[in-house]
């Protein structure tokens, strides 16, 4: 899977984790190979749903609920050929672990909460994870929550370390409705939506003639 030195530079997709309190970058995860496809679904958040007030039918409660689905491949073939010490010792466990631990509370937090519970603290808040950003080019950077995560390990070395795998990710975009306007993630989301609005203004628009009509009845 080596690339020619004459190949054009291709940007890669990835995830960036931010500290929820300080917004400092905790980790940058670059997908080894950008997925061949990205599936997106947008669910309209309308007021005038079935059975609702007809006078509200054109109103929107907020941004649509947008979800992403993608499959990413991770392969240690090139690293093993180059005798990379990490790949030789652990295969692609480090790459898989970097992705998996996004949805795990840290062991430090687990132990701290257990200590609080043992000392008689009556209420312990659910553990807050880093703010996860999905990056697919400079114009698509969005806060997300990972909703689905599956790994298919497809090849192993002699020590049963995985050396090739496919990771399937499902992500839900976190909008201002989810985060509130004072959250750091909301500013990132609004920049994402503004980019869409900018692109939407680029087409010059069509004509009635192209639709086969002369006017609106």
| Within a domain: 115 | no
Q: Which pLDDT score is estimated for 128?
A: 83
* Distance separating alpha carbons of residues 46 and 60, to the nearest angstrom: 4
Residues 6+ apart with CB under 8 A from 144: 68, 132, 133, 134, 171, 172, 173, 174
Q: Are 154 and 72 in contact (CB under 8 A)?
A: no
Asked if the structure places residue 53 within a domain, the reply is no
Domain-located, residue 131: yes
pLDDT, averaged across the chain: 90
Higher pLDDT, 57 or 122: 57
Per-residue b/e over 139-173, b at no fewer than 16 CB within 10 Å? eebbbbbbeeeeeebeeebeeebbbbbebebbbbb
- How long a stretch of residues is the chain? 217
pLDDT at 117: 86
Q: Is 207 left (phi over 0), alpha (psi -120 to 50) or beta?
A: beta
**pLDDT recorded at residue 18:** 96
Q: With 90 as the cut, is the pLDDT of residue 58 above it?
A: no
Q: Is residue 5 part of a domain?
A: no
Domain membership flag for residue 117:
no
Residue 149 lies in a domain: yes
8 vs 128, more confident: 128
- For residue 118, the model assigns a pLDDT of 87
152 occurs within a structural domain? yes
State mean pLDDT over 150-178: 96
What CA–CA distance (Å, rounded) separates 167 from 162?
A: 12
Helix (H) or strand (E) holding 163: strand 162-173
pLDDT given for residue 59 in this prediction: 86
Position 2 scores a pLDDT of 53
Residue 48 has pLDDT above 80, yes or no: no
What does the pLDDT read at residue 77?
94
Q: What is the pLDDT of residue 144?
A: 98
> What is the sign of the dihedral through the CA atoms of 141, 61, 43 and 171?
positive
Question: Does any domain span residue 50?
Answer: no
The most confident of the ranges 37-41, 52-56, 127-131 is: 37-41
State the pLDDT at residue 42. Answer: 96
Q: Name the domain count of the chain.
A: 1
Pairing mode, if any, of strands 39-43 and 65-75?
Answer: antiparallel
The pLDDT of 51-73, averaged and rounded, is 86
Higher pLDDT among residues 109 and 69, named by residue: 69
pLDDT at 123: 73
Distance CA 164, CA 74 (A): 6
**Which structural domain, as residue segments, surrounds residue 33?**
14-44+59-106+126-198
**Residue scoring higher pLDDT (21 or 192):** 192
- pLDDT, tens digit, for every residue of 105-153? 889 888 988 888 888 876 777 778 899 999 999 999 999 999 999 999 9
For residue 57, the model assigns a pLDDT of: 81
Of 87, 81, 70, nearest to 34 by C-alpha is 70
């Amino acid at each position: 899977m080596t690339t020619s030195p004459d190949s054009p530079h291709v940007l890669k997709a990835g995830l960036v984790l931010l500290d929820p309190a300080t917004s400092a970058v905790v980790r940058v995860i670059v997908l080894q190979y950008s997925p061949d496809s990205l599936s997106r679904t947008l669910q309209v958040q309308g007021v005038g749903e079935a059975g609702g007030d007809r006078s509200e039918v054109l109103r929107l409660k907020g941004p649509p609920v947008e979800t992403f689905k993608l499959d990413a491949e991770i392969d240690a073939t090139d690293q093993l050929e180059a005798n990379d010490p990490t790949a030789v010792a652990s295969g692609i466990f480090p790459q898989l672990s970097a992705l998996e631990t996004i949805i795990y509370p840290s062991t430090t937090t687990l132990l701290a909460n257990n200590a609080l519970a043992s000392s008689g603290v009556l209420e312990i808040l659910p553990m807050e994870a880093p703010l996860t950003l999905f990056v697919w080019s400079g114009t698509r950077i969005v806060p997300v929550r990972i909703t689905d995560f599956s790994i298919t390990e497809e090849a192993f070395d002699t020590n049963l370390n995985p050396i090739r795998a496919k990771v399937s990710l499902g992500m839900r975009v976190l909008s201002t409705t989810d985060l509130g306007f004072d959250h750091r993630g909301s500013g990132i989301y609004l920049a994402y939506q503004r980019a869409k609005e900018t692109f939407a203004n680029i087409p010059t628009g069509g004509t009635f003639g192209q639709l086969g009509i002369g006017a609106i009845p």
